[in-house]
Amino acid sequence: MTRSVYVTGIDRGDGRQVVDLGVMELLTRQVDRVGVFRPLVHDGPDRLFELLRARYRLPQDPASVYGLDYHEASALQAEQGTDELVSRLVERFHQVAQKYEVVLVLGTDFAATQLPDELALNARLANEFGASVIAVVGGKGQPAESVRAETHNAYRAYAGLGCDVLAMIVNRVAAEDRDVIAERLAARLPVPCSVLPDDAALSAPTVAQITSALGGTVLLGDDSGLARDALDFVFGGAMLPNMLKALTPGCLVVTPGDRADLVVGSLAAHSAGTPPIAGVLLTLNERPGEEILRLAARLAPGTPVVSVAGGSFPTAGELFALEGKLNAATPRKAETALGLFERHVDTGALLEGISVARSGRVTPMMFEHELLEQARADRRRVVLPEGTEERVLRAADVLLRRDVCDLTLLGDVDVIRKKAADLGIDLAGTQLIDPQSSQLRQAFAERYAQVRAHRGVTVELAYDVVADVNYFGTLMVQEGLADGMVSGAVHSTAATIRPAFEIIKTKPDASIVSSVFFMCLADKVLVYGDCAVNPDPDAEQLADIAVQSAATAARFGVEPRIAMLSYSTGTSGSGADVDKVREATDRVRESRPDLRIEGPIQYDAAVEPSVAATKLPGSDVAGQATVLIFPDLNTGNNTYKAVQRSAGAVAVGPVLQGLRKPVNDLSRGALVQDIVNTVAITAIQAQGEERTA
């Protein structure tokens, strides 16, 4: 039977989309076929479903998501009664439910619906769907005692109507009241209750949303600038020195279009990072001359300058009435929402209450979700030497919003801040260090000279070496100032890992440093090693790579069944290459009899049960291998790229193994999500290293 979860509320303005998004995130970690059903919908595009579909790559036909629109529902209820309305919606729900393992139901929104007793209708639908209820109560602008009473009444209302109330979630409360409200509700409610503070970044409209709502014209700015949140509004009418004092981080400067001094001054302040602003909104349909616009574009590339027809007073009225919305065009708001949900909701208890059995399939999205969850569970600090690189900054933005780990960015601090401001990224709470001017440079030089004294390295020479961001970051890890390092977006593999070989060195039980890729296929995750570091390992090294790769696989939830790959299976072939693999297999069996291993074996016999049944019948690895060890770098590197491109697999890595402390390399073509995943993996490796120590 399909399991379903019904997220509902008691009134409008509860910010329920944060909970809808958070619950969808939880469900997609467990199963790969999640459906969405919204019983009633307003005319026009459904922003939330479009966000869910884009973010979670839902294949569901949008036409199947909705039951009826509110006008149809109101007319049907008036003419034929509530029973007929409910019957129609139940029928539509079951059409969705039969296709999915679990269904997320998005309750009515209590906004101009013209439906009598909307709460009772949601309760009845939840009961008819057989769905557990998560009820959301909005607490914005209310005192703590009022929020507590309203939440208690909401629970009694839904429970009294026969609902299986899974949890209560109070949203948008004042940050200073959150702990008090949570403590009082925990003592008085028989179900788990989570309390989420209001977050200005979620309720703030983006510059793009403001432009659309006011019918503005974009004079300057790119998509990244338009995606910035307008956290405050500063109305410019005073002289420039006085207005500059009023600027706040993330503010939108609103000024008449003929005040070129305020436009240029605001953008110059943004360029200097004192403070970074969201953009400039020009009123009265006045536009600066072309020479001013060219200067503005040079001062703050990408920062939006928008012109609107209205005067400052009516424009102010419209601006203060706007509120930010989660939709597919605001992915950063989605990251903020998920971070808020995961920080303040006991997701483990919620999943246990939903009782969705984990799917036997492991999709790429499920694997990525699990990485972030594991990293967040035991917070670590990761240093990113390429702090001025745009992809690294965007990845840092995601990691910070999702509360995955602590970060240190290396590079010219002024450049980092300016680039972050241009991208609309808030680096509050992030450690920024310039190795050139850091007080740590001298101590690191002395430490490096000590480590490399046998190579004739003096403190004077080391002082220059440690100014390199990769050496500096590696020394931070070695000295315990960071738990791991990720680099390589703009540096070569050699530049990234050479400092680790020199300073951190290999573990006592590892003869070499090697690597693996996590290959996320449509329904499972395989581990490939070594595809990035060792060109032609001998039998002893190959055995070491197999043992290391099995440990890495187990650390990330992949049960290790090792296939030692060759062009021959079993005893069918001979030759130096096959003999090397056979010897390596024997070495692993001798040193680690607890590991399941088969070799030499061909790739098809390793992963395809029907081939394994013919070539190696009775093997407990053949046909179901999860860790595939390639005989050399040429074979491994080409195979992982062929599978990645031909099978549409997501390749996460390379993940280095064998070092005393985690350092990982990125491909120079790494995408933002690749960097996010690699940082999460590095944090998880650091957790394991501490436990081992």
Q: What is the pLDDT of residues 157-196, one digit of tens each?
A: 999 999 999 999 999 998 898 998 888 888 888 899 999 9
* Mean pLDDT to the nearest integer, 544-573: 88
Q: What percent of the chain has pLDDT over 70?
A: 97
pLDDT recorded at residue 1: 47
Measured on CA atoms in the order 437, 439, 440, 445, is the torsion positive or negative?
Answer: positive
Q: Tell me the CATH number at 412.
A: 3.40.50.10950
Residue 326 lies in a domain: no
Does residue 239 share a domain with residue 180? no
* Mean pLDDT to the nearest integer, 324-330: 81
pLDDT at 507 over 80: yes
Does residue 33 share a domain with residue 148? yes
pLDDT at 115 over 50: yes
Confidence band, pLDDT 50/70/90 cuts, at residue 32: confident
Q: Which of 130-134, 155-159, 195-199, 422-426 has the lowest mean pLDDT?
A: 422-426
Q: Tell me the CATH number at 618.
A: 3.40.50.10750
Confidence band, pLDDT 50/70/90 cuts, at residue 356: low
Domain range enclosing 53: 3-198
Does residue 545 share a domain with residue 432? no
pTM of the full structure: 0.81
pLDDT recorded at residue 360: 60
Choosing from 269, 291, 321, the residue where a domain stops is 321
561: left (phi over 0), alpha (psi -120 to 50) or beta: beta
Dump pLDDT digits (tens) for 638-660.
Answer: 998 898 888 878 888 889 998 99
Does residue 480 share a domain with residue 369? yes
pLDDT at 232 over 60: yes
Output 692 or 587, whichever has higher pLDDT: 587
Residue 339 lies in a domain: no
pLDDT at 358 over 70: no
Are 632 and 536 in contact by the 8 Å Cβ rule? The answer is yes
Does residue 487 share a domain with residue 371? yes
Residue 189 lies in a domain: yes
Does residue 543 share a domain with residue 430? no
* Mean pLDDT to the nearest integer, 531-537: 88
Residue 629 lies in a domain: yes
Collapsing DSSP to helix, strand or coil, 525 comes out as: strand
- CA neighbor of 539 nearest in space, from 584, 605, 587: 584
Q: What percent of the chain has pLDDT over 90?
A: 41
pLDDT recorded at residue 112: 64
Dump pLDDT digits (tens) for 67-110.
Answer: 888 888 888 888 888 889 889 999 999 999 889 989 999 998 87
Task: Work out how many domains the chain is built from and give that number.
Answer: 4
Choosing from 503, 523, 552, the residue where a domain stops is 503
Written as one letter, the residue type at 175 is A
Does residue 438 share a domain with residue 303? no
Instruction: Read off the tokens for 523.
Output: 């329904």
Does residue 553 share a domain with residue 583? yes
Q: Name the β-bridge partners of 133.
A: 6, 165
- Mean pLDDT of all residues belonging to the chain: 88
Residue 340 lies in a domain: no
pLDDT at 692 over 70: no
Question: Within a 13 Å sphere around the CA of 472, how many CA atoms are in the beta-carbon half?
Answer: 26
Residue 236 to residue 246: CA distance in whole angstroms: 9
pLDDT recorded at residue 486: 96
- CA neighbor of 394 nearest in space, from 375, 409, 411: 409
Q: Tell me the CATH number at 47.
A: 3.40.50.300
Does residue 518 share a domain with residue 479? no
Does residue 29 share a domain with residue 173? yes
* Mean pLDDT to the nearest integer, 118-126: 90
pLDDT recorded at residue 684: 93
Q: Which of 310-314's residues contact partners 24+ apart within 8 Å by CB, and which partners? A: 310/214, 310/283, 310/284, 311/283, 311/284, 312/235, 312/237, 312/254, 312/255, 312/256, 312/283, 312/284
Confidence band, pLDDT 50/70/90 cuts, at residue 361: low
Confidence band, pLDDT 50/70/90 cuts, at residue 357: low
Does residue 615 share a domain with residue 572? yes
Choosing from 300, 321, 342, the residue where a domain stops is 321
Output 572 or 188, whichever has higher pLDDT: 188
